[in-house]
Chains A and B, each alone.
Chain A
C-alpha cells in the first residue's frame, strides 16, 4: 500500500507576526528610557556595595572623565555638563539652569549625579563639589554600579 504522492507542507501563517513584534516594541518602549545626551568624555563607573536607586526625574548629571576626542598627548580630565564639555566655573550656572528647566524652586530636591570615571583623580571632583556647595546644590550622589556580594 504505497502512499499516494507526497503531501506538501502548508506555508506557515505569518499573520500574527506583526502582533508579536508590536508586543515586543511596546515592552521595550515601556521598560526603557531615551538616551538623553551623547557622552563627550569616557566614563567607566566604579562599583560599590552600598548603592541606592536614584529617581531619574530629579537627577542632574555631571560627568568627569577623559575627553573622547582627546588630541595626542592631551591627558587632562574634563567635565561634561549636559551635552558639551565645560569648565569648573560653569558648574554653578549649569545647576541653576537645570533647576529652571526642571521647574523646581528648591535646589535641595535636585540630586546632582556625579558620574566620575574610576581611573580619574579626585582633584577636579573636589573642585566641582566646592562649586556645588557655593550654588547650594547639596544633595549629590556618586554614581556607581552595584557590586555583587561575593
Chain B
C-alpha cells in the first residue's frame, strides 16, 4: 500500500500583516521617543558648617551673590531684577549681561593667569552664588540658572576667541576640553538659608 505523495499546502500568510501591525502598535505604545535633555551641574561636596564659613570668608570679593525671592524678584548684589529681565533680547538677557560683566570686568572679579595651549591668559576667578527662597517657583529658578550658564558660555566663547581665534562651538574635542577645564561653571548653589522657620 504505497502512499500517494501529496504536495504540502502553502501556509496562508495573509494574517502576517495583522501580526506585524499588532507588534508595531505594541511598540509604539510602550516606548518613548524623546531624548533626555537638561542643564548639567556639579554640586559642591558636603562639608561641615565651620569649614563652610571659612571658605566663604576667603573669597568674598570674587563672589557675585544672586538671591531669588519668593515673588520672583532677583537680587544681584544690590541691584534688583524682575522676571522680565530674564528674557533674551538678541544674545543676552539683562541678567546674563550683568553676570558676564562681572566675569570680564577686572574691577569686579580678580583674574588669574592660567596657561592654556602654551600661552598665558587671564581667567576670572569669579564665583556666582545662587540662593533661592523655599517658595520660589522652579520655572523662575531654572530660568536664572539658564541665564547663568549662558553667561559662562559666552565667557568661554571670549576665551576661546583669544586662544584659538575660534568660537567655543567650533573647537575640536581636545580644544573644547581645554577651554572647558580652564573656564569652569563657577556657580555655587544648594546652600539653603540658615534662618529657616
Q: Which of A49, A50, A133 contacts B190 (CB 8 A)?
A: A133
* B 122-169 contacts with A by CB, 8 A: 132-139, 141-143, 145-146, 149-150, 153
In whole angstroms, what is the CA distance A69 to B32 when docked?
A: 23
Q: Is the CB of B149 within 8 A of A25?
A: no
Residues of A close to B28: CB separation below 8 A:
28
Category for how many chain A residues contact B: 35 or more
- Supposing A18-B16, A34-B30 touch, asked if A125 and B138 sit within 8 A by C-beta, the answer is yes
Query: Which secondary structure dominates where chain B touches chain A?
Result: mixed
A88 at the interface (CB under 8 A from B): no
A145 at the interface (CB under 8 A from B): yes
In whole angstroms, what is the CA distance A112 to B27 when docked?
A: 27
Q: Is the CB of B141 within 8 A of A122?
A: yes
Q: Is the CB of B135 within 8 A of A146?
A: no
User: Residue among A15, A18, A59 with the most chain B CB within 10 A?
Assistant: A18
In whole angstroms, what is the CA distance A14 to B12 when docked?
A: 13
Q: Is the CB of B43 within 8 A of A54?
A: no
B56 at the interface (CB under 8 A from A): no
Q: Is the CB of A119 within 8 A of B24?
A: no
In whole angstroms, what is the CA distance A48 to B183 when docked?
A: 21
Residues of B close to A109: CB separation below 8 A:
none
Residues of A close to B145: CB separation below 8 A:
48, 142
B176 at the interface (CB under 8 A from A): no
* A 82-128 contacts with B by CB, 8 A: 111, 113-114, 116-123, 125-127
The chain B residue with its CB closest to the CB of A120 is: B138
Q: Which residue numbers of B lie inside 8 Å of A, CB to CB? A: 13-14, 16-17, 19-21, 23-24, 27-28, 30-33, 35-46, 68, 88, 132-139, 141-143, 145-146, 149-150, 153, 189-190, 192
Known: A121-B134, A142-B145. 12 other contacts (CB 8 A): A18-B17, A24-B24, A46-B143, A49-B150, A52-B39, A116-B138, A122-B68, A136-B45, A139-B40, A141-B40, A143-B36, A144-B39
Q: Which residue numbers of A lie inside 8 Å of B, CB to CB? A: 14-15, 17-18, 21-22, 24-25, 28-29, 31-35, 46, 48-54, 56, 59, 111, 113-114, 116-123, 125-127, 129-130, 132-134, 136, 138-146, 149-150
